[in-house]
Amino acid sequence: MVGITLGEDHSIRAVTQAPSGNSTAAENGQRPVVLELDGLRAHFATPQGIVKAVDGVNWDVREGETVALVGESGSGKSVTALGIMGLISPPGKITGGRILFGGRDLAQLSQEEMRNIRGHQIAMVFQEPMTSLNPVLTVRRQMTEGMEVHLKMRPKEASERAIELLTLVGIPDAKRRMHEYPHHFSGGMRQRVMIAQALSCNPKVILADEPTTALDVTIQAQVLEVMEGLAHRFNTATVIITHNLGVVARYARRVNVMYAGRLVETGNARDIYTNPQHPYTYGLLQSVPRLNEPRKTSLIPIEGSPPDLARLPQGCAFRPRCRFAVERCGQETPLMALVGPAHAAACWVAASPGGLPK
């Protein structure tokens, strides 16, 4: 079954993915949701006002599924991921909503409880591996530490698994190379080490925050391919966070588009790419080269910049940049509405009978 239901507040509930790969629709429909955000809010109390970095966001990810979270810089993607990991630092905090994982609401857990989940059950891959890999420890040490602590593996056993994982992510001669330090590896190889490390404790979810942004396009594709293959192999739910909608085209089954702290469009990747309904998504697609298509037309950047999240305009946050705006857009905040069977957008014009005039 493929479908979206909208909550009473027009939040999205239960998006079931379309058939993918070798699986049948029935198999996909039965895959359990592993992580669900339900109206998540994360705000920063600053001298300039309350910065609503994440403001009522709903999405979920299923076992073995790759979902993308996309939006320009400053749209709240990283704060969402940090919120899930329990890593938002003051003056920021989760101010509402739930993070449902394994029958619990992570937003309610103590730091102590979150330490057992972080890295072990939910792992994160960051944009720049040099900031998260420790430069003074060998790759072997960094790979095995989590396995020894969380999985209670003996050093020899952990080393063997490290070699296996490093080989799987495409590090040649892993047995020898794991005794080297991160700076001995190229950017792409370091990113692979991060992915292997993230996978080492068999997490149920991997949050990959701009995992390939620092890499050149060919290497980006290779790394994403590795991630997608491993997600299938280990049945890991994977959330790829990126500002580049073009990059995730081939790898994500579903796409969630964020703007100014809110979700503005969600749907199966195919629908989002071939039939975007929110003007922002439409703009994002026109502004980035796509990995899966030869460039046909020149790129058109979205004019203007994202709003100050402490002073959001009345109505639709995208209105100052939107060429489709109508009067209502300046008065009322658009609510999520179905624009297809498994496709929803928060736009007054997209939801109107004529849809978006493209």
Ligand X SMILES: Nc1ncnc2c1ncn2[C@@H]1O[C@H](COP(=O)(O)OP(=O)(O)O)[C@@H](O)[C@H]1O
Q: Which residues bind ligand X (CB under 6 A)?
A: 44, 46, 51, 53, 71, 73-79, 92, 309
Among 17, 28, 75, 78, binds Mg ion (CB under 5 A): 78
Distance, CA of 17 to CA of 193 (rounded, Å): 30
The token pair at 161 is: 């698994």
Instruction: Tell me: does residue 80 bind Mg ion (CB under 5 A).
Output: no
HEC profile for 300-346?
A: CCCCCCCCCCCCCCCCCCCHHHCCCCCHHHHCCCCCCEEEECCEEEC
Task: State in angstroms the smallest separation of the CB of 340 from ligand X.
Answer: 25
Among the listed residues 18, 117, 28, 106, the one whose alpha carbon sits nearest the alpha carbon of residue 64: 28
Instruction: Tell me: does residue 242 bind Mg ion (CB under 5 A).
Output: no
Residues 77-116, mask of contacts with ligand SF4 (x by CB under 6 A): ----------------------------------------
Instruction: Tell me: does residue 244 bind Mg ion (CB under 5 A).
Output: no
User: Contacts with ligand SF4: how many residues (CB under 6 A)?
Assistant: 13
Among 76, 267, 279, 307, binds ligand SF4 (CB under 6 A): 279
User: Contacts with Mg ion: how many residues (CB under 5 A)?
Assistant: 1
Residues 6+ apart with CB under 8 A from 153: 144, 147, 161
Task: State in angstroms the smallest separation of the CB of 94 from ligand X.
Answer: 13
Among 34, 178, 322, 339, binds ligand SF4 (CB under 6 A): 322
Distance, CA of 91 to CA of 112 (rounded, Å): 20
For residue 90, give the 3-state DSSP assignment.
coil
Residues 6+ apart with CB under 8 A from 137: 181
Residue 251, contacted partner among ligand X, Mg ion, ligand SF4, none, CB below 5-8 A by kind: none
Which chain residues interact with ligand SF4 by CB under 6 A?
278-279, 316, 318-319, 322, 324-325, 329, 334, 347-349
